Amino acid sequence: MSHPKESDELVFFVNGRKVIEKNPDPEVNLLFYLRKKLRLTGTKYGCGGGDCGACTVMISRYDAISNKIRHFSVTACLVPICSLYGAAITTVEGVGSTKTRIHPVQERIAKGHGTQCGFCTPGMVMSIYTLLRNHSEPSTEQLMETLGGNLCRCTGYRPIVESGASFSQSSSLCRMNREGKCCLDKEENELDNKANVCTKLYEKEQFHPLDPTQELIFPPELMRMAEEPQKEVLTFHGERTTWIAPGTLNDLLQLKMKYPKAPLVMGNTSVGLDMKFRDVFHPVILSPARISELFIVTNTNEGLTLGAGLSLSQVKDILADVILKLPEEKTQTFRALLKHLRTLAGQQIRNMASLGGHIMSRLSTSDLNPILGVSNCILNVASTGATWQIPLNEHFLAGTTDTSLQPEHVLLSVFIPVSKKWEFVSAFRQAPRQQNALATVNAGMRVTFKDGTNTIMDFSVLYGGVGSTTISANKSCQQLIGRCWDEGMLSEACRLVLDEITLPGSAPRGMVEFRRTLIISFLFKFYLDVSKQLNMRDPSGYPDISKKFLSALEDFPLTIPHGIQSFECVDPQQPPQDPVGRPIMHQSGIKHATGEAVFCDDMPAFEGELFLAVVTSTRPHAKLISLDASEALALPGVVDVITAEDVPGSNGSEEERLYAQDEVICVGQIVCAVAADSYTHAKQAAKKVKIVYQDVEPVIVSIQDAIKHKSFLGPEKKLQQGNIEEAFQSVDQIIEGEVHFGGQEHFYMETQRILVVPKAEDKEMDIYVSSQDAAFTQETVAYALDVPKNRINCHVKRVGGAFGGKTSKPALLAAVAAVAANKTGQPIRFILERGDDMLITGGRHPLLGKYKIGFMNNGKIEAADIEYHINGGCTPDDSELVIEYALLKLENAYKIPNLRVRGRACKTNLPSNTAFRGFGFPQGAFVTETWITAVAAKCHLPPEKVRELNMYKTIDRTIHKQEFDPKNLISCWEKCMENSSYYLRKKDIEEFNQHNYWKKRGIAIIPMKFSVGYPKTFYYQAAALVHIYTDGSVLVAHGGVELGQGVNTKMIQVASRELKIPMSYIHLGEMNTVTIPNTIATAASTSADVNGKAVQNACQTLRRRLEPIISQSPDDSWEDWVNEAFTQSISLSATGYFRGYEAHMDWEKGEGDIYPYFVFGAACSEVEIDCLTGAHKNIRTDIVMDASFSINPAVDIGQIEGAFIQGLGLYTLEELKYSPEGVLYTRGPNEYKIPSISDVPEEFHVSLLTPTPNPITIYSSKGLGESGMFLGSSVFFAIADAVAAARKERGLMPTLTMDSPATPEQIRMACADQFTDLIPQIDSKCCQPWSIPVA
């Protein structure tokens, strides 16, 4: 037998340039190669698992058979470099740059304000760019599918979608009105006609048109390679793994016989995840990507044969095309598959994952396998010298050994038969999120009737998500054969299926009752679907289903968000050069879109640089008995292992150690760190460190545990006004209750990153860090190294999202890295992977709120006694401040004359929770709105009436005795009522609910009084440094950090106004502790306020110095004045300083003027829920916010939208799950779901209230970074309203306290019905649950 020729040369192109790699390492992915080898750092690391889209690039391949070039987006973190033979890669740098030309995609996403922190922007650009390479005028549906695999934590998506939709000529951004015009046109014109109201944040007429002829051409050399394919075997030997890519099917079969355990890797979306996250090791990997037999497509009268190598995207397109050509009755299976393919994973994963890989992985959550399994599909299989067929049925999917598919066999193709006339196939799924989320439960169902009857001849049901594999209800189905398709059959089917498919109370992934309910809810949906189709075929022979049930069959559509953003136009008398009040693009917007914006890990490597990987505790509470690093130190590339003994100074504080010392107090606490010459080596070595623990009791995980053990982080805090005891005696009614509020992960797109560079002398050290608080980082590192602060210089250029999570945590992590750098004497790069970041750094505090409320029958609340406990985790961090803020702000917009609130932070064995956008207010005010809603229900009053009745009306004092004027609060409420057409829509909703039993709509309007700032005056101080150079250019430095909130853009606007020069003259570089010392954290919505005052102060000083020269020569240019000042030896550099707002709080007296001002707002949201699955659709949101005089309306509206969507996630989607031992399960976007593009309300309107003076701040502006977060609760209470409507119709008590977040599980189980009644409740005493609540 002749051996095929071998080659070890990998050839591909990147941005038009040829790349040749000899023997590349199979374990190296494209993301690493681009960033570290080619130094193309625009492509970002966000999660490492293909779920966030930050690393999206475009791959182009030429198909010699069709003579077409295929462009498709992929996540570079999952693409093995070895798989790229013959491919052309385009990264964001290849699309356009400031050095060459800006591509229209980049221009529109930047100028359309679709970028804030900018970390996700290159991925967004690449997804839209790839779409445009395939469809120059894409439909909005294509755009929504394209962006479904990209996550953003800052913007709220609306401006990103709008930027992409600007390329669409054929589809309107919204539904058309009767005249065929956009329904927004009239509203925008009406707003524009009002006095000085603007609705344009940018001029889209100025966008450059898309010119497809200007794109990079596909390399002709790759075309020739594809047309004349070499059949040699590509073999690449890495450090541990060998990659073999055969050129013929025969070679592949021979190799599979030789290496039967070697996986076949096409898209690497399954094997890659196993290798990365589950430590699965494969010494040999086979790549069948060049085997043409795996890409066949054959369409016959009997059905469709699809090659196993086809990507899921290709399968989706093929099915869509076939469905158009065949009669509907033949396409039942095809349509069921297509339905799931539209939302399965994200676009990038669908482009990568193969049909064969999806089938062969046999994942329990597979969306396609249950459909294929019920549809009599056939697998075409081959091995050396033979081919045969295997039924794709429940036995195959269960992985039973008698299915005749052995390790040396290869799946060639899949045959999917057309459906028969009296055969019906449907697919169902419910997931935590509509797009890009693994199903909680899914199902494929098929029934065949005796011709012309409703008598069951064949019945097949398969479920995913309810076992370790796809599960069949075969026994139940067999017992139903011969039955008529009627309600009696349905009742029997539900009983049989529940008996056959069981889930123990401790089942992995939890949600046992919910998942069992979905099993029969899907069965009911199938019953309705088939009944409807039977009636359509023979209306006289088969009864129609009730019109009230019809909506149960409709899935929520993927709709593109649109809306109006309105704000006060600048005064016509304002000089055109003055940028204040104008919607200016983010200062780094273009660089974000081109990938040229440099983040911490984008910095070039320093000579001798080492990489750090940490070893974290696996026990929640234990003594450290021993640590053995000998095996780790013996591995290649490992330089050292660093422990607490290596800290020359302070190892953190007594309460929070840098490195664990003597004991560990949570899972995820850093015990030691490994420094090595590569991150791969460091990570491999970290797994070899052996730690011996001795467990310590008690292990405290939940708030209830902490209360039981009296485990607290500080004393109880209390505020009181009036006399609650007397008030409770005189009220008409009293209610008592409690509500649980889950935590939240920051999920900043850029994980924690630190680069430490020791200097050669004087123990100096440069710290490049992604931090909100450079001064605290400087201080912590100095204490750890036992050196003065003046030896440590912290640099922060920009931060890829923070939301409070980069206030205190980066300081600890920087100190860990600095100790390593001090010990090794070499630069240290410390980048947390997403899973480690989520495990180590904590998040928003879970809260348990208890309340006792006394009120009159008219809804007037006279007394409230409130108690809060928050889960602080294992160390204090900011927990005491958070509980203080929760108490100070709990009243929200309401005047409660007799009010007592007490609160305490609990100490538990969880990672320490920390600051998070809103800082206690989103939790505390949520509890308030919960009991407001409960009071309304008890009084049989609409919630909005009770809110209005109890709202502050006149100048008054808060619970902490601070005076304020609620005028703008009332204005926001009334304006939101008007903008949202609240009462008209509420009437429409009531009518909808009357006509729909299984779908319900709800609406809620929520007011907000948000207090901005810190409790101490010194927290508000700020400094700035402004230089004017002799060419007229200006350099500004200030103490704030650019987190994406636009503070640098606003500072340039301030300097431009004060110096009376164009913004183009002004540059703002990095923030560092040498230029601006003793800075305060960029937090609490105050950074633009206080740093703006400091920049203003410096600029006014400079302007005063120049005034004599200007008055003498008023007609000269700015450059002339500056040069004249220089010749007169007038200083052209000035510092600026702002002492801060007066703030104080006396907790003994329970009073203080803490906050400089309040931000008022209101939000109205409408939702629709599916009572059978718990899914919901956000239909519309209207927000009115009191921004006073906005310095930059585009930035401020972006902050409002982004905060609202993050709040929407907090209240409805984002669920942290912990084991009973305190282990965090949800450590990445695969398990933890933040909002995606499909979660944005279909209509999303934001209006800034007509400005009123706020003289205490710069230009009467207000800080809006945090306040919008709480308004996301309007979606929660709209869901609660819909649930109440469902419960009322079912004869249940409509008042049901729902905990936050309102996940599909909560919604479904709250809408109790005949199906939930069939599910027995789990006895928690019988088994330990998989996860437990910690609030």
Helix (H, G, I), strand (E, B) or coil at 1302: coil
| 1266: annotated active-site residue | yes
Torsion region of 1132: left, alpha or beta (phi above 0 gives left; psi -120 to 50 gives alpha): alpha
**Residues 676, 828: Cα–Cα separation, whole Å:** 9
Q: Which residue has the tokens 């050396």?
A: 384
Q: Say if residue 966 is preceded by a cis peptide, omega within 30 of 0.
A: no
Tokens of 1231: 């398990």
Q: Which residue has the tokens 């706020």?
A: 1254
* Total length of the chain: 1335
Tokens of 1098: 């410096």
User: Of 931, 934, 923, 945, nearest to 864 (Cα)?
Assistant: 931
Instruction: Provide the CB-side half-sphere exposure for 908 (13 A, CA).
Output: 34
Quote the Cα angle for 115-350-109, to 5°: 15
**Residues 444, 429: Cα–Cα separation, whole Å:** 9
**Residues 826, 677: Cα–Cα separation, whole Å:** 11
**Residues 387, 382: Cα–Cα separation, whole Å:** 4
Q: Quick one: which H or E segment has residue 1210? A: helix 1193-1212
Amino acid letter, residue 794: C
* 278 Cβ neighbours under 8 A, 6+ residues apart: none
Quote the Cα angle for 767-1047-1026, to 5°: 75
Are 191 and 199 contacting, i.e. CB atoms less than 8 angstroms apart?
yes
**Residues 1302, 933: Cα–Cα separation, whole Å:** 15
End-to-end CA distance of the chain: 68
Tokens of 140: 């909005």
Quote the Cα angle for 1141-1143-1145, to 5°: 175
411-429 per-residue burial string, b: 16 or more CB within 10 A, e: under 16: bbbbbbbbbeebbbbbbbb
Task: Find how far residue 786's CA is from the centre of its chain.
Answer: 39
Are 770 and 749 contacting, i.e. CB atoms less than 8 angstroms apart?
no
**Residues 814, 829: Cα–Cα separation, whole Å:** 10
Angle between helices 512-537 and 487-500 (to 10 degrees): 150
* 42 Cβ neighbours under 8 A, 6+ residues apart: 91, 92, 93, 122, 594, 595, 596
Are 237 and 228 contacting, i.e. CB atoms less than 8 angstroms apart?
no
Q: How many H-runs (helices) and E-runs (strands) does the chain carry?
A: 39, 46
Are 1208 and 597 contacting, i.e. CB atoms less than 8 angstroms apart?
no
Question: What is the dihedral sign for C-alpha 77, 79, 81, 85?
Answer: negative
**Residues 444, 522: Cα–Cα separation, whole Å:** 9
Burial class (CB in 10 A: 0-12, 13-18, 19+), 789: middle
**Residues 158, 226: Cα–Cα separation, whole Å:** 41
Are 927 and 741 contacting, i.e. CB atoms less than 8 angstroms apart?
yes
DSSP per residue over 578-595, as a string?
--TTS-PPPTTHHHHHHT
Of the candidates 145, 513, 1266, 1305, the residue annotated as catalytic is: 1266
- State the DSSP code for 904: E
- State the DSSP code for 15: T
User: Of 44, 65, 57, 112, nearest to 84 (Cα)?
Assistant: 57
Question: Looking at the annotation, which residues are catalytic?
Answer: 1266
